[in-house]
Chains A and B, each alone.
Chain A
Amino acid sequence: MKHEQIEEAIPLYALDAVNRREHQEIEAHLETCQACLDLFHEYQQVATGLLVSQPFLPVPAGMEERLLQRLDSSPGAVLPGSASNTSGAIYAPPYAAPLPWESRLRGWLAPQRALSAGLAAVAALLLVMNGVLLWQLNQTQQQVQQTTTQSLQLRNLISEMSQQGSRTIVLQAEPAVAPDGKAAVIINPDTTEAYLLVQSLPKLPQGRIYQIWLNDGKTRISGGLFNVDANGQAIVKITAPVPLGNYKVLGITVEPDGGSPGPTSPRVIGNNL
Chain B
Amino acid sequence: MSKLRVLIVDDSSVMRKIVERSLRQAGLDLGEVLEASNGAEALAEVNKGKFDLILSDINMPAMDGLEFLRGLAGVESAKGVPVVMITTEGSEARVVEALSVGAKGYIRKPFTPEQVKERVAPLLGGGQ
A and B are interacting partners? no
Could you tell me which B residues sit within 8 Å of A by CB distance? none
Could you tell me which A residues sit within 8 Å of B by CB distance? none
